[in-house]
Amino acid sequence: MTNPRSKTEAISKTTQTYVEEWIKEQIYGFRKEIRSKYLDKGNEMEVVAIDSAIDWLDLEMVLKNKTTLEDEHFTGMPDIILPEEVIDIKCSWDCYTFPLFDTEIPTKDYFYQLQVYMHLTGKKKARLVYCLLNTPEHLTYEPQRNYDNLDKKYRVKTFDVEYNETVISDLQDRVEKIRVLIKNNYKL
C-alpha cells in the first residue's frame, strides 16, 4: 500500500473533528463511548481470536502483549510482538465482512496502525491477521452462523506489511501540525 498522504496536505475536516472530540475529553474528563456490534464482537472475542491465530498460523508459544508503547508522537499496543515482527489481530463480524479474496488491507487505518506498531517496537515487518469466529449468540439477532467445520484457510487471512520510514515521517509531521492547530485555535 502506498502512502496516500502528502507532507503538504492540510488538516482534514475529519481530523479537526477528531481533535475537537479529544479536546472535549480533556476538558470533561471522559471519552466518548463508541459502540457497534462489530466492536463488541472484536472486544469480546479478542483472546479467542489471538489464540486461534496462534494455532492456525503455527506460531511459537506466545502471549498477548499487554504493554502500551509510546514515544513523543505515538501510542499503541500491538496484540503480539515476536522477535522479527508485530502481529495485530482483527475479528470479522461474519463471512461477508471477512476479507477472504482481498489482496490489500481492506481498511487503510490498519496499515497506518501497523506502521506505528513497527516504529514503536523497532520491527521492520508486521502482519495483520483477520480471524473468522462464531459470533456469540447474545451479540446478534441474526441467524447463528457456525464456522467450526471449515478449513482454517477459510477462517484466517493475513496481510504482510513492511516498515515505511516515509509513512512514519509523514505521520509525525501530521501530529506536529495537529499540535500547532490545538495551540493556535483552542484555548484550554
- Which pLDDT value is given to residue 34? 86
Q: Average the pLDDT over 54-62 and give the result.
A: 91
Q: How far apart are CA 172 and CA 178, in angstroms?
A: 10
The candidate with the shortest Cα–Cα distance to 78, out of 135, 161, 19, is: 161
Sign of the Cα pseudo-torsion (46, 47, 50, 55, in order):
negative
Q: Average the pLDDT over 146-157 and give the result.
A: 97
User: How much of the chain, in percent, has pLDDT values that exceed 90?
Assistant: 71
Q: Residue 76: beta bridge partners?
A: 69
User: How much of the chain, in percent, has pLDDT values that exceed 70?
Assistant: 95
Q: Residue 34: beta bridge partners?
A: none
- Which pLDDT value is given to residue 44? 94
Q: With a cut of 50, say whether residue 6 has pLDDT above it.
A: no
User: What does R_g of the chain's alpha carbons equal in angstroms?
Assistant: 18
pTM listed for this prediction = 0.87
The candidate with the shortest Cα–Cα distance to 55, out of 105, 129, 113, is: 129
- Which pLDDT value is given to residue 1? 53
Q: How confident is residue 66, by pLDDT bands cut at 50, 70 and 90?
A: very high
- Which pLDDT value is given to residue 15? 86
Distances (CA, A) of 174 to 5, 24, 42: 10, 20, 29
Q: How confident is residue 59, by pLDDT bands cut at 50, 70 and 90?
A: very high
Q: What is the pLDDT of residues 9-26, one digit of tens each?
A: 578 888 888 889 988 898
Q: With a cut of 60, say whether residue 4 has pLDDT above it.
A: no
Domain residue ranges of the chain, discontinuous segments joined by + = 36-185
Which segments within 16-115 are labelled E, that is strand?
A: 69-70, 75-76, 80-81, 85-92
Q: How confident is residue 2, by pLDDT bands cut at 50, 70 and 90?
A: very low
Q: How far apart are CA 61 and CA 148, in angstroms?
A: 22
CATH topology (fold) of 36-185: Lambda Exonuclease; Chain A (3.90.320)
By CB neighbour count within 10 A (0-12 exposed, 13-18 middle, 19+ buried), where does 143 fall?
exposed
SS3 content of the chain, % helix, strand, coil (to 5): 40, 15, 45
Q: Average the pLDDT over 40-48 and give the result.
A: 94
Q: How confident is residue 3, by pLDDT bands cut at 50, 70 and 90?
A: very low
Q: How far apart are CA 166 and CA 142, in angstroms?
A: 44
